[in-house]
Amino acid sequence: MNVSFAISSREAEYSQNLSMEEFRRRNKFKQVKFAIYLIAFEMILLCVFLRLARYSFTADASMPENGVSVALGGGGGRAEVSQLLKNLTFLGLVQILFKGNASSLMQIKAHSCAGQILHLLVIALGFQLSLICRGLFYILYQGMEEIPLDVHDLSEGMMAAFALSLASMFVIGRTAGIHLIFLISVFIPLFNVCKLTNEEIFMVTDPGNALTVHLFAAIFGWTLHIVTLRNKFQPGSELCAHKLEEKDVWSTFGPITLFITFPIINAIQAESDADMGRAIINTIMAQVGSMVFSLAIMVGVTHINDRMYDYHVLQGSFVSGGVAIASSATLMVQPHGALIIGLVTGLISTVFYLTIEDLIQARWRLPCTSGLFSFHGIPAFIGGITAAILAAISEARHGTISYHNSLYPIYPARVPDVDSCKNTTCSYTFGEIISNYPFLEEKALGRTAGMQALFQLIGVLMALTLAIMGGLTVGLMNNLSSDKCGNEFPNTAWNDDSFLLNQRQRSFRRQSSSKPLRSASNSSEEPLEEPLERPQDK
């Protein structure tokens, strides 16, 4: 669906009669003010890190155990395989955020470069705030005095920044800059509440973070998108057009990067080599399945409707299968089961994108979201429901899916406590389980398969509820600030034509259809800068 900006009363003065030079002169202080807000926000985060954050035990060189010499009490400088995997996962997340997601913004024609600048600001601030929020949780919940940081904590911070990146793409470049600060300030604390509650209290099995990253971010961003931008766009421009261009090809780098790193991300919480191997196999099979059905439907529909290929479907086909299998990546779904999950997800998400999402955007006059909701939110929801069904039929012995004692690291809450289990009723006693997995002693709750499935569904419901509440909150804050104070910087200022001062020298500049203005005093002088081009003039 092609959409464009509608002129608001606050932006009436920024008409085509203004030269670009006049536009910049009137608004340069607003842009400087936004930069000051960003710097002030960063200084607050820096002060918190200075006061609370320290290296964790595993990264502290002052600990003798971390030395190279065994004779002096050190570990010999040998890194564990799990730590190496955490390091690789962290580096993979860095690639996704700073290269992959940034390049995905190139598909948004009007603000691809300005959007990348805003995107990098959002994830850098969100990453730091997430480390603080996660650390404060452990200070309050576990009584720590400081925030210990290691590579695992940085990976968790990057996952939060990844989720924030997905949510911000619904509105980035389309709202005032101060609204992004509102988004960061509300999204990151709610994200950490959702994630830590699911992990520490509900003990939901979600190895690939489908619920707390993809589902939460997609629902949050979609709600914010509707509340903030409803009825503010008109059909008729190529702000996010469904056609193949050179920059569309480059924007595929983002989903391809995510496709490559998904198996590592889904395997990060595996407790054994077997779990890790299953996660990688399941993820690859689901990704391949989603690609087949998504691309087949795209080819068929475009030819039936006599329309050009929708490149967003190609991008989404790389992502949807990995998202759908994330909640059950370490489970015994078998390769054919993972393939079926990918096929079903590719079918549902693509049909939803080509039909329902387009109808919603047309009905409510919303800008296109490049399938972010269809290829992240819908697969994550499917994955959450699938994980609940699998939890209900999983047993240590004599179940539809049998894990033996490997069941308990996957579902820690299913470890029977001392009082609730007798040798005649339990597959394994509390002592037998703890002797093999001593780290599960404090997590023993004695849940049944049905109870675990119920908590899996509660995890899905919690992600949906908190995401909707957060999106409504930020959307209302955006609308209130615009109504009472006006936009800190007008929406059109984020378009590449006006945001980048050297736009005249760039090959991807949109060609103006209007003639340049000449000086009123002397018509023979060189023309002034091009007038501000508005998308609805196309």
Radius of gyration (C-alpha) of the chain in whole angstroms: 26
Residue pLDDT, tens place only, 363-382: 888 877 878 899 999 999 99
pLDDT for 309 beyond 70: no
Write the DSSP assignment of 360-419 as a string of letters: HHHHTT----TTHIIIIIHHHHHHHHHHHHHHHTEESSSSSEE-GGGHHHHSGGGS--TT
Domain count, the chain: 1
pLDDT of residue 19: 54
pLDDT for 496 beyond 60: yes
- Residue 441 inside a domain? The answer is no
Specify the residue for token string 């669906």.
1
pLDDT of residue 214: 94
CB 415 within 8 A of CB 446: yes
Q: Is the Cα dihedral 406, 408, 414, 419 positive or negative?
A: positive
pLDDT of residue 26: 63
Residue pLDDT, tens place only, 430-454: 788 888 888 888 888 888 999 999 9
- Residue 124 inside a domain? The answer is yes
pLDDT for 122 beyond 80: yes
- Residue 135 inside a domain? The answer is yes
Tokens found for residue 57: 């035990």
**Which has more confidence, 534 or 260?**
260
- Residue 11 inside a domain? The answer is no
Measured distance CA(11)–CA(369) in Å, rounded: 23
Residue 307's pLDDT band (boundaries 50, 70, 90)?
low
pLDDT for 505 beyond 50: no
Mean pLDDT of the chain: 77
Write the CATH number for 310.
1.10.3430.10
Residue 535's pLDDT band (boundaries 50, 70, 90)?
very low
pLDDT for 157 beyond 80: yes
Tokens found for residue 76: 């010999």
3-state secondary structure of 531: strand
Q: What's the domain range around 139?
A: 19-58+81-397+447-492
Tokens found for residue 174: 């389309």
Output the pTM of the full model: 0.82
pLDDT for 459 beyond 80: yes
- Residue 378: name the closest of 251, 222, 169 by CA: 222
Residue 247's pLDDT band (boundaries 50, 70, 90)?
low
Tokens found for residue 166: 């997905």
Top mean pLDDT of 187-201, 299-313, 434-448 is at 187-201
Instruction: Provide the Cα torsion 442, 436, 211, 263; round to 10°.
Output: 150
pLDDT of residue 220: 97
Tokens found for residue 152: 């695992």
- Residue 393 inside a domain? The answer is yes
- Residue 526 inside a domain? The answer is no
pLDDT for 325 beyond 60: yes
Tokens found for residue 234: 């008109």
pLDDT of residue 16: 44
Measured distance CA(139)–CA(326) in Å, rounded: 29
- Residue 275 inside a domain? The answer is yes
What mean pLDDT do residues 221-225 have? 94
Measured distance CA(221)–CA(167) in Å, rounded: 4
Find residue 531's DSSP bridge partners.
19
- Residue 5 inside a domain? The answer is no
pLDDT for 328 beyond 50: yes
